[in-house]
Structure formats: C-alpha cells, structure tokens
Structure 1
Amino acid sequence: MLRSSSLFPFLLFTVALTITVPSTVKASLSIWGFEDPQKSSNQTPSDPDATLQAKDKALESEAIPNRNGEEAEQNKSDAFKEVSPEIDASIDIDVAPETQAVSDPAKKAVPTPTEIENTFTSDDFSVEAFSDLIEAVNSEENVDQDLEVTYDMPVVPDNVHVKKYITLFQNRLRPNFEIWLARSGKYAEMIQSALRENNLPEDLLYLALIESGFNPRAFSRSKATGVWQFMKGTGKRYGLRIDHWIDERRDPVKSTHAAVKYLTELYNMFGSWPLALAGYNAGESRVYRTIVRVRTRDFWTLRESRHLRPETRNYVPKFMAATIIAKDPERYGFSVEYETPLQYDEVEIQNATYLSAIAHYAGVTVEALRNYNPELRRNVTPPRAPGYKIKLPPGTKKAFMAAYSPDKQEQIFVGRSFKHRVRKGQTISSIAQQYGVGINMLLETNGLHRHTIISVGQQIMINETPERVGGKHRIRRGESISTIASKYKVSIRRLLEANNLHKRSVIRAGKTLIIPGHTTASSSKISSTKGTSKTRKSHQIRSGESISTIAQKYAVRMRDLLSVNQLTKKSIIRAGHTLIIP
C-alpha cells in the first residue's frame, strides 16, 4: 500500500505532461510562422491520398529553385511583420529598404562589387547596365592606382626593420619628425634639382632628413656638420673650404653639390644604392672590406654579419622608413606645414667686410644675415677671398648695391691668427690686453658680447690685425718683403723705409715689421719728430726689457716712446716686437 500510494503522484504528473507539451510546442511554432507538418489546410491527416500529393509538391519545390529570391525574402519579411507586430513597434528605427538605397539619386558613389551583386533582380536585369557598373568600378580602381606612391630608390616596406623605424617615427620621435618634414620644404626644391641634373634618384633628398633633419648647423659626436653631415676630410676632398673663417659644410647649396659628387662616386663603386648608403654612413673602405669578408654584395646579408656597426646596419632601414613616411605623410598620421622654399639674392664682396656693415647696407639684422649664411664662422667675410658671394634676403640686393662701395669700405688687414685657451682668472679685457688687440674686435671676432661669461678651457680666436695693433706684422716662416707688401697692398719701398731696411736685408721669422699707411697718427708723429724716415731708429725688444729701460737706453722720454708706438702705460710689450725710437 505504501509503495503504490507513493507512485500515484508521479504517474499523475507524467500523464499531465504528455497531454500539455505537444499543444504548447504547436502553439509556439504557429506564433513564429512555422506550420505543423501533420496539419493541412485542405486535407485531413487521415486522408492518405492528400498526404501523397503534399509529399509530391514538396519534392517539386526542392527540385526547382526559386528564381525570384528577393521577392521570397520580401514575403518572409512581410510574414514576420504580420506575425509579430509588437516586436516591429518596439524597435523604432527608420531603415530604408535595400533597393531604395541603390535607386536614391542623391547618392552618386560608384557601387562596390558586393553592391553590384545585389543591385538587379531577375526581372529588370540588362547586360548594358551591368557593363556600365563594371566599367565604373574599374575606373575607381584605376584612380587608386594613380594615387599609389612610387619610389625611385629600392624601398622594402614589408621589411621588419623598416617597419620598426616607421613605428619609431610615428610614436616616440613623432615631434622631431614633424619638424624635420616641415623643414624639408625649405631645401627640397634646391636638392632635388641638383639630383635631377646629375641623373640621381630624387628620393636621395630624404638622406638629408635622417642625417641632420635639414639643419645646416647640426653637429654630431663624430664632428660631422651641415645638412649632409660631412666629416672635415671628406668635405675638403670634394671641394669645401673649411678653416677658422668659414665652414662650407654648413652651406646648404655648396654642400649639396659636394654630396651629389660623393653619392655618384659611391654608386659607381658598389653598383647598389643600399650599399652606397651604407658607405655614406660608415665610409666606403669599411663597406668594401665587409663585402670581401662576407663574399656577397647583398646589403641584407651583410647586415646580419658582425663586420658592420649597429649604426650602419640600421642606417638603410631608417632611410627607407623616412622615405616611405615623407612621401605620404597623411597616410601615417602626419599633418605637415612645409616651410617656404629657400630664396635669396647673391652679391659679391671684394674685400673682407664686417657682417654688421653688410647688414646695415642691406637693411637687415646681423642675425638674419647669418641665417642666410650659416657657413660663416666669424662676424666678417673670409679674407683673401676676393669676389666672395654672400647671400642676402630676397629683395634687398638693390638697396645693398646702392649703399655699398668697395673703395669706401674700412679695410680689414688680417695678420697672424691663432687660438688662446682661457686660463683661470682671465677675462676678455685681460686677454685683449695680453695680445694687444682691441676688446671690441676680440668680441666681434668670436661672436661674443660684453656680458658674455667665458670659462676655463674655452678657446678664443686671436686675430692680430695691423689695423688694431699699431700697423705691425709678425713675420712667419716662408714670408718675404714682397709677399708681406703684397698682402697689405703697400709698395716694397715704403715697407723698407718704414722698417729701416734695404733690398738686401734679411728678415727672420718671429720679428715684427711696421706696416705703413694704416697708422696715420703714428706716421705723422714720426715725421714731425725726425723729419724724414731715414733718420728713425728701431729697437727689437729682448727678454726682460720694459718701456722705461728702453727709454733710458736711448735717452728719450718714456711719454714720447709710448706716443710714437701708440702705446699706453698699461700696454704689455713682448720679446721679439720692434719699437720705433723717436
């Protein structure tokens, strides 16, 4: 009894579930648009003939595909809306039918191949319309091909090392790279013109981008400088003047012509631009030795060897990455405002002239003049360079030529020039007094001002010009009376008379000569004292002598001795100099 009574509730639940579930499932299928396979609208399930006919029709519908697929899809959509209006009402989205988007006259965009596939139904299909769409898509592909970036240098965008530098330029070096790209607009036209004239790839322009960022004053740890980062020896080899007056490696125009010569020579040597670029960075000798050791001329194989420095191994991928970005900056997220192309007027300067005078005649500032001439290392044009061409801002040549006259210029006579290393306790004034030069001249020669603080170990350029030290010249090895007279544009006779010499006199290195014609005050005083130059005496200063001892020796007043030689009581005299005895 207990066992049968415990099974009764279970049996009751099983019967109820059997009766309820089929009806619930049928109702659910009906709600979502599915018909009961056992139910027919025309025949009852008990009629066997009707069942066979229904099966035959189902087989026919499977054998013959529906040719109007879009109409069937539309019917399904209508059926869905009829069955579930509450769902349609709850989603309030204004979606235009797919066919309406194609026929909308406001949209003139060329359809894609996917859109062409669903554009026409079987009822309104025409070969002509389909051909027109195919032609439109092909024209769009041709436009994309026309916009594709091309290179005239070997570039490998998919190389892993090139991609690394593209990422580097896009992220960590992005601010710097944007400045370099903007600055390229100033020199691109000039550089590409020089490359084009010499039948070199114009993409070599971007070699200057990774070398200096188009900065003429860029200076590397290895002491390379300029837009093209020439070393001193390499620059001189290709015709650039480098001394303490001028450094033409910083001249964008002259250094570009030197770089063109160098790159041409490198390509003729290696026959490969990747190898030529590696030689530009490391030197042609190192690259040649690496080729001999590894026995290949493939740069990417050489790159994996240990014979090239890391800088050279990464140099070529860096160049390729910079070229890829620079030729299509928008694609890589750069918005660049390029600087205006370099334009300037050019004039010839006959003699060494201070930049302050040139700037005054042109109506510009000295700073603006130096920006156009970054090769000038001093505030004066290079001496012994007649016809030197200096660049002026555009539109200032006419004003300069109207005010400039070479004959009226203050001549700058360049004597011995050397460097002085500042010692502890020295100042500009003490150094100027030590070498007998003017403070203003010392400041201007070194590009300093009165408030500049000099440090121990700093090198100061000393220019002993006769104009500033009383018309004197210290004889150097190899010089003669004729060369000194020609240098200062005076006659040999006057030079001999000023120094109590004759044609057969022997001059020695280290002695000092008086240069006539540049110290009018001393000349007038000398002539008024003795009347003629033949009666004047001179004294070569020996070690331990002073102004007072020399005056006592020749029985003259110290004031007259100082006056004739344009000295003061605080002047410092050095052994080897020559004094005029009144």
Structure 2
Amino acid sequence: MKINVLFASCILALTSFSAAAQQQRQQLQALQNVDTIAVPILAETPTFYNHNYVFKARLDSIQKMVPLSYNEHVQKYIDIYSGRKDMMGKMLGLSEYYFPVFEKALKYYNIPEEIKYLPVIESAMNAHAVSRVGATGLWQFMFATAKDYGLNMDNFVDERKDPVQASYAAAAYFKDAYQELGDWLLAIAAYNCGMGNVKRAIIKADSHDFWEIRPYLPLETRNYVPAFIAALYVMKCSGQHQITAQQSPFVKNTDTIHVNRFVSLAQLSAALNIEENALCSLNPAYKKKIVNGTEDEPKRIVIPKVNMAQFAEIYEVLNNTELEVNQNVYLASNDDRRRMKKKIVAKPAAAISYHKVAPGQTLSAIANKYNVEVQDIKVWNSLKSSSIVPGQKLKIHNPESEKRKLSAHKG
C-alpha cells in the first residue's frame, strides 16, 4: 500500500489541544490582516538632558555580538516601548513560540541571536502583517527581495508568511549584508533601506560607524536601528519596567508532517478537533487554506500534538480525501495588492531560478524536471559529487534564457 504522507516522527505523542478555543480564536483574529506597525518617527534632539546610566549599564550587560549603543536616540525609543506595556507583553508571549524558530535559522547562518528581535519592530511578530508598500510577513520581505532569497509566492502559498522559510531567508540576507558591510548595525540598517543606501551614506560620511553615517541615511532608517536596540532592551529587561508576558495564542507543543498531495486545512482541523483558524495560524503561508503538496515538492504542515485516537481520522484526510480544486500552480508576478488592473504581458522566465531539494529527490530527477543536464547543475552549484540533501537550494539556469543570450550574441 502506497503511503502518501511523510511523517517527521513515526509516532505522534499524546497531547490534546487547548480547550480555551473561543479566547484563542479572538487572539488569532486580532493578528490577521493588519498593517505593519511602523517605527515611530521622532524629531531629532540636539541636546541630551536625560542620560540614564542605569539603562546604559543594562545595555552593556546584555550586549553580545551586536553593539547596543546608548544615546539620546535609543533613549527616546526605550521611553516609547517601555510605555507600551500591553504591546510588549504580547510580544513576550509571542516570542515563546517564534523565537526558537528564528534562533534555529540564525544559528544555521552564524548570525547573532540578537537579530531575532527584529520582527518585533518589523511586524509586531504578525505573520500576516502587510506594510503600506507591500512588505509582508514576520520579516517584512518585499516581493523582489523575497524572490532573490528563494522564497516562493504563487496562487497557493506566500512563503514570506512562513515563519520557517522566511527566517532562513532573512538569515541569508544578514549573512550577505555583513559580508558586504562588515558591521552588524550597518547590516540592520541595510535590512531596512537596502545596501545601496548604506554604502552611499558610508561614502558621504567617510565612516563605517552607524552613528556617524546616520544623518546621511533615509529618515526611517535613522530611527530603525535605535528602535531595534530599544525593543531588544525592553524585551530583555521587561521585569524592570513592569511588563508581564501575555499568554501566546499559539499551541506550544507541535509536530511537523510533510504531505505530497493536496490537503485541506479545514478538513484536517476537523479531524484534529481544533478550530480551523488555530490550524491556519500555525500554517500562515497557505493562501487558500489548502496545502499543495506534490511528489516533487512535499509541503510542510505544522499541527498540534495529537493522541493516537485521532490518528485514523487524520490519516484518512491526509491520504484518502480528494479535493475538487484546480491544482495548477501560477507563480506570482508581483504583490497581489499592488498589481495594476491592466493587461498583463507575459514576461520571459527568469534566467536563474532556485529548486529546493525534496526528500528522496536525486540530481537526475531534478535535471529531468528542468530539462537540463546533471553536470550543469553540479557546475552551477559547485557540487563536487552528486550528493544532495533535503531542503538544499540548487541554482538552475533556464535553458530558454541561455538560448536567447546565445541568439543575441550571434546577432
């Protein structure tokens, strides 16, 4: 008998979902579809009167790899965030669920753990946050940058909203930014305004010190770095500011399964006997509440730990339930909310794309899928052997693009 579901663990441990469904549903609905909370823009203070040596000492005590400077700009944001006790209490609660995800991705790329506090000011740790200019998800990726870092956006998924995928993409960005700029505060600034703006500011100031180049940066970025330092401080020193962690709306004990067929989150939530909204909140990337797994690209579903009595119903949904849905996948060409209402001219496929290796895939199977040669894939990715691992991203050159280049060269 063919089993179409790949379980991360052979036996799902015993735990039932929280009984406080109504309260949880209200908390989750509050996290849906809200605009990003922007960093408050504050006026410059030429003279600093309220220097607080206690705050400076605390910042010094919690500093690790990222410099946690103390000055008038940081102080102003400490005043703001320490006063937002309800908001910061929610951030502390959400951090219990999200920080382990962020930490794992940051550690993979050897990025300082402190960067995990960035989503506090980017999105208020809301996976569905969308800014006024279209930046989306916990890490607020713009469409083009998300594509550059391997995130997929199509009619079924938006991986900018996937906590795991987006966290690895953000960590990869910081690796590149630090290699380019050589300073963590500059890398943080670049995450907000782009490396080009930071490099131009470095040239104008003739310095690599953030606080010296700060006047030459966009206004939002000048405030962004002090706000990050202040938010980190308030989260780490919440007790000294009478801020108490609020209960997270997310269930803590979860399992991960991979499916290679289309699965309805609504049907799965019924089998799990939990609120549909609760399951969708654990899997925020799926636009249609449908997990579009395939043999070539199995998809991940996060579920609460369940008891063995539920196993048969879950297995039925995952393996034997057919969905009447158009399974064609269309890559997004831009953010849906910003797409112009005019005739869309089809653009040629990108010269380079990225393929995420699925469990059990071989280089031969991937080469056949893209109509290229195994040796080409090895050259493009500097592979010394044919060994690949699940989750690895491979660079794939588009054969049609190569033909167009050759034709243009001959012309």
TM range (shorter): 0.5 to 0.7
Distance 1:237 1:342, change over 3 A: farther
Query: Is the counterpart of residue 334 in structure 1 residue 246 in structure 2?
Result: no
- The superposition leaves residues 215-250 of structure 1 with CA deviations (integer Å, 9 ceiling, x where unpaired) of 111111111111111111111221211112111111
1:388-403 to 2 correspondences below 5 Å: 388-395=299-306, 399-400=310-311, 403=314
1:160 is displaced (CA, Å) by 0.5
**Pick from 296, 317, 320: which aligns with 1:408?**
320
Question: In structure 2, what is the Cα distance between the partners aligned to 1:148 and 1:321?
Answer: 13
AA aligned to 1:156 is S
Distance 1:397 1:154, change over 3 A: farther
1:392 is displaced (CA, Å) by 1.0
Question: In structure 2, what is the Cα distance between the partners aligned to 1:274 and 1:148?
Answer: 16
Query: Is the counterpart of residue 387 in structure 1 residue 298 in structure 2?
Result: yes
- The superposition leaves residues 70-95 of structure 1 with CA deviations (integer Å, 9 ceiling, x where unpaired) of xxxxxxxxxxxxxxxxxxxxxxxxxx
Question: In structure 2, what is the Cα distance between the partners aligned to 1:342 and 1:257?
Answer: 21
- The superposition leaves residues 399-437 of structure 1 with CA deviations (integer Å, 9 ceiling, x where unpaired) of 34664246632244526789xxxxxxxxxxxxxxxxxxx
The answer on whether the counterparts of 1:351 and 1:386 sit within 8 Å (CA) in structure 2 is no
The structure number with the bigger radius of gyration is 1
Count of residue pairs brought into register by the alignment: 275
The answer on whether the counterparts of 1:346 and 1:397 sit within 8 Å (CA) in structure 2 is no
Query: Is the counterpart of residue 323 in structure 1 residue 236 in structure 2?
Result: no
Pick 1 or 2: higher relative contact order, CA cutoff 8 A, min separation 6: 2
Query: Is the counterpart of residue 357 in structure 1 residue 267 in structure 2?
Result: yes
Distance 1:262 1:147, change over 3 A: closer
AA aligned to 1:189 is P
1:393 is displaced (CA, Å) by 1.1
1:390 is displaced (CA, Å) by 1.1
Question: In structure 1, what is the Cα distance between the partners aligned to 2:172 and 2:276?
Answer: 33
> Residue 370 of structure 1 corresponds to which residue in structure 2?
280
Question: In structure 2, what is the Cα distance between the partners aligned to 1:261 and 1:401?
Answer: 40
Distance 1:182 1:359, change over 3 A: closer
> Residue 81 of structure 2 corresponds to which residue in structure 1?
169
AA aligned to 1:280 is Y
1:291 is displaced (CA, Å) by 1.9
**Secondary structure of the equivalent of 1:390?**
strand
Question: In structure 2, what is the Cα distance between the partners aligned to 1:302 and 1:148?
Answer: 22
1:377 is displaced (CA, Å) by 0.5
> Residue 215 of structure 1 corresponds to which residue in structure 2?
126
- The superposition leaves residues 248-305 of structure 1 with CA deviations (integer Å, 9 ceiling, x where unpaired) of 1111112111111111111111001111000000011221222223322121111123
Query: Is the counterpart of residue 156 in structure 1 residue 66 in structure 2?
Result: no
Question: In structure 2, what is the Cα distance between the partners aligned to 1:155 and 1:234?
Answer: 27
Give TM-score scaled by structure 2 length: 0.60
AA aligned to 1:261 is A
The answer on whether the counterparts of 1:149 and 1:328 sit within 8 Å (CA) in structure 2 is no
Question: In structure 2, what is the Cα distance between the partners aligned to 1:209 and 1:257?
Answer: 17
1:28-427 to 2 correspondences below 5 Å: 149-152=61-64, 153-157=66-70, 159-171=71-83, 173-305=84-216, 308-337=217-246, 339=248, 342-382=252-292, 384=294, 386-395=297-306, 399-400=310-311, 403-405=314-316, 408-412=320-324, 414=326
- The superposition leaves residues 365-390 of structure 1 with CA deviations (integer Å, 9 ceiling, x where unpaired) of 32221011111100322265652221
The answer on whether the counterparts of 1:348 and 1:390 sit within 8 Å (CA) in structure 2 is yes
1:363 is displaced (CA, Å) by 2.9
Question: In structure 1, what is the Cα distance between the partners aligned to 2:79 and 2:151?
Answer: 37
- The superposition leaves residues 441-489 of structure 1 with CA deviations (integer Å, 9 ceiling, x where unpaired) of xxxxxxxxxxxxxxxxxx9xxxxxxxxxxxxxxxxx99xxxxxxxxxxx
**Secondary structure of the equivalent of 2:61?**
coil
The answer on whether the counterparts of 2:154 and 2:329 sit within 8 Å (CA) in structure 1 is no
1:409-448 to 2 correspondences below 5 Å: 409-412=321-324, 414=326
The answer on whether the counterparts of 1:354 and 1:380 sit within 8 Å (CA) in structure 2 is yes
Question: In structure 1, what is the Cα distance between the partners aligned to 2:198 and 2:80?
Answer: 26
AA aligned to 2:233 is I
The answer on whether the counterparts of 2:109 and 2:171 sit within 8 Å (CA) in structure 1 is yes
1:154 is displaced (CA, Å) by 0.2
- What value does the CA root-mean-square deviation take over the aligned residues? 3.2
Question: In structure 1, what is the Cα distance between the partners aligned to 2:58 and 2:222?
Answer: 34
**Secondary structure of the equivalent of 2:302?**
strand
AA aligned to 2:303 is L
**Secondary structure of the equivalent of 1:381?**
strand
Question: In structure 1, what is the Cα distance between the partners aligned to 2:256 and 2:61?
Answer: 37
**Secondary structure of the equivalent of 1:353?**
strand
Distance 1:350 1:177, change over 3 A: same
- The superposition leaves residues 153-181 of structure 1 with CA deviations (integer Å, 9 ceiling, x where unpaired) of 20112x0100011111123x333222223
Question: In structure 1, what is the Cα distance between the partners aligned to 2:275 and 2:244?
Answer: 32
Question: In structure 2, what is the Cα distance between the partners aligned to 1:383 and 1:167?
Answer: 47
Distance 1:199 1:341, change over 3 A: farther
Distance 1:333 1:407, change over 3 A: closer
**Secondary structure of the equivalent of 2:301?**
strand
Distance 1:343 1:216, change over 3 A: farther
The answer on whether the counterparts of 1:206 and 1:322 sit within 8 Å (CA) in structure 2 is yes
Distance 1:413 1:367, change over 3 A: closer
Question: In structure 2, what is the Cα distance between the partners aligned to 1:417 and 1:257?
Answer: 23
Question: In structure 2, what is the Cα distance between the partners aligned to 1:257 and 1:388?
Answer: 16
1:147 is displaced (CA, Å) by 12
Question: In structure 2, what is the Cα distance between the partners aligned to 1:328 and 1:292?
Answer: 36
**Secondary structure of the equivalent of 1:218?**
coil
